Structure 1
Amino acid sequence: MGSEGEEQETPLTRRSGDPVETFKRTGTVWTAIAHIITGVIGAGVLSLAWSTAQLGWVAGPLTMVVFAATTVFSASLLSDCYKSPNPEFGPTRNRSYMEAVQFYLGDKSRRICGLFVQESLYGGGIAYTITAAISARAIRKSDCYHKEGHDAPCNYGYILYMLLFGGVQIIVSQIPDFHNMAWLSVLSTVMSFSYSFIGLGLGIAKVIENGQLKGSIGGVPKETIPAKLWLVFQALGDIVFSYPYSIILLEIQDTLKSPPPENQNMKKASMAAMFIATFFYLFCGCFGYAAFGSDTPGNLFNGIWIL
């Protein structure tokens, strides 16, 4: 997270064996919102139009609102775990999700939870690599169609873009203290808003071109119930993947200054960030579905070449 900090801690506020900290926490609600948006509004927003198409006009938007409310509620509970035994005065700090699990549930639970955390990070890394490759391919394909016409054989693979994305990640991960660069979250937030606006603009432009709102209450029709259920569960998984940030919540909270108590600022930041995220999710998902109907692509950027 960013390099925000607070006054030096006394030995009473440190757990046994922790090094004495020399930095100051200066984080605010605004910096916390930037960190949350960086972690939440990812490439998953580009698949929400497809998810809405599978669920339909009622269940799609309603599911996003329900998961947003659930995330806010869970974030509120977790933010009270930062300091213990008192959530406002401590004195013990749990600076990460794993520290909180170990403090409240013990070392055995921490090890078991660690397996799921690593699996989640591993799966997230794969998802972002694939999505980045698909998006890059869609942009190149769109450029080809606009230059050569829609009948041109604009066929490109994914492997090259996956390798390039992975190479960049390996290089960037070697930068010392990379996670403590405050400007990084600001830059990432700008990027998140950028492709969210691109996806939203794409949907609006296509709706205007069509002159109508496509889609139905039941979503994309399927011949069999199992086939429909499979796609519905996939859509729910995509929406769930787009919201939670519990793994990094306490690390974000550890950047906040006090007073006021960190848990109060974190709750405010979570509420604001979820409102912003849900706004983009609803508009990207709904306008994407309204634009393409049953033909809504899995990645909204794949619809660029249609324009």
Structure 2
Amino acid sequence: MELQRIALSTGVELDVAIAGGRANPPVILLHGFPESHHTWRHQIPELARDHYVIAPDQRGYARSAKPEGVDNYSADKIIADLIALADALEVKQFTLVGHDWGGAIAWGAAILHPLRVTRLVILNAPHPRVFQKSLYDDREQRKASQYVNFFRSTTIDQGMTGTALEHFFASDFAQHVVGGIAGEEKAIYMDQWGQPGAMTAMLNWYRASGFDVPKPDEEVTRPATLDGPFPPVTQPTLVIWGMQDKALLPVQVDGLPPYVPNLTVVKIANGGHFIPWEKPEAVNAALRDWLSAQVRP
């Protein structure tokens, strides 16, 4: 898909896939780790039939800008990129769709910018408060999340080229894909990950994040703040969840209602973590049904 290079007021340049007519309702799609706009290859043409679709390669990914330093990958800076991208394209309000880390950014953006984000769609991305609570309260989720501490290691990305990238693909990525992945699709990932600084920049998203991941059998004091107030997501929200996700367990969906008053949940029983392209028909159908319902009187 042809990309446009867009310079943002935040000081970074992003490659952005844009489709559909500008007069249509805008929707912004945010990919997660370790992907790119290519995450949405099945959703972009479907949504572009009646939406103005914007799908960036977020900072640190593929050939978008990769500023040095962990601090440049904190959530506030990435949310600022999102708003700056909307401003650059003269989009005042939009539906926001996010998967994985893109979903984490989408949760935050919806809370911080309710006048810009009018509708929210989340695919296999945990709500920040629900996720942090589960890491203390749910032993299975804590165990499943240990990869975060591994990704935060300061040495994992050193010299990650060639054979090391192949190992990362096989051991840390492909095993989480329902149905496997190879051939042309694998080549796309290897090309994007092989861009100078890409692996470090992508992993910096984990290093810059502030949530705690206790060790599986560690006895820890549960922070009292986890039971304190948390800003609700006020927008109509659709959560689509692949129930075979090995990293983000069903507890993430079960804990949502107190924080998301206007919530619709669609569970895809045979879908894994990467449902936008593992189960595109089911995802597109859920999107279509929900988006259509939102515009009815």
- Tell me the TM-score range normalised by the shorter chain: under 0.3
Structure ranking higher in strand proportion? 2
Q: Give the TM-score, by structure 2 length.
A: 0.25
Structure ranking higher in helix proportion? 1
From the CA coordinates, give the structure whose radius of gyration is larger.
Answer: 1
